[in-house]
């Protein structure tokens, strides 16, 4: 349901300077993911392999190219204290390729 609402918000906000920070589970097991934008809004969900979690990011009018970034993170379980995080810039999607405890995750490269 959270994923549906996040996608619905993106559709409603499209064309208004809104975009999204997203994280996808490219690993072969379910993990707990979070996405936090620069204003401190945060979304969390357990994602099955292939699933994606997005959080909208609002840019000031005329500043779409300067969207603030945020942080995506993955945890083994909902009660895990340690996990892996990655700083994201602008509005982009991150994909976890493999989970490894204590910040030893493998993320998809950019460009």
Number of domains in the chain: 1
Residue 40 lies in a domain: yes
**Contact status, residue 74 vs residue 80, Cβ threshold 8 Å:** no
97 domain residue, yes or no: yes
> CB–CB of 16/88 below 8 Å?
no
Residue 79 domain-assigned?
yes
For residue 102, give every residue at least 6 positions away whose Cβ sits within 8 Å of its Cβ, in sequence order, or none.
Answer: 82
111 part of a folded domain:
no
Q: What share of the chain is helix, strand, coil (3-state, %, to 5)?
A: 15, 45, 45
Whether residue 83 is contained in a domain is answered as yes
Which neighbouring-strand residues pair with 58?
A: 18
Q: For residue 50, report the phi and psi dihedrals to the nearest 5 degrees.
A: 90, -10
pLDDT of residue 36: 93
Pick 75 or 19 by higher pLDDT: 75
pLDDT band at residue 65 using 50, 70 and 90 as cut-offs:
low
pTM of the full predicted structure?
Answer: 0.75
Stretch 78-95: mean pLDDT, rounded? 87
Parent domain of 11: 2-106
pLDDT of residue 68: 72
Q: Which residues lie below 8 Å from residue 78, measured CB to CB, with a gap of 6+?
A: 32, 46
Indicate the pLDDT class of residue 5, thresholds 50, 70 and 90. Answer: very low
Using one digit for the tens of pLDDT, what is the confidence trace for 7-46? 334 333 333 455 889 999 999 999 999 999 888 899 999 9
Cβ 43 vs Cβ 53: under 8 Å: yes
* CATH number of 35's domain: 2.60.40
């Amino acid at each position: 349901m959270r994923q549906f609402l996040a996608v619905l918000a993106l559709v409603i906000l499209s064309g208004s300077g809104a975009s999204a920070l997203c994280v996808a589970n490219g690993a072969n097991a379910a993990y707990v993911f979070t996405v936090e934008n620069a204003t401190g809004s945060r979304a969390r969900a357990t994602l099955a392999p292939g699933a994606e979690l997005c959080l909208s990011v609002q840019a000031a009018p005329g500043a779409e190219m300067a969207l603030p970034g945020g942080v995506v993170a993955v945890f083994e379980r909902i009660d895990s204290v340690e996990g892996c995080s990655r700083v994201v810039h602008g509005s982009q999607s991150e994909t976890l390729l493999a989970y490894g405890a204590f910040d030893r995750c493998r993320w998809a490269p950019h460009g």
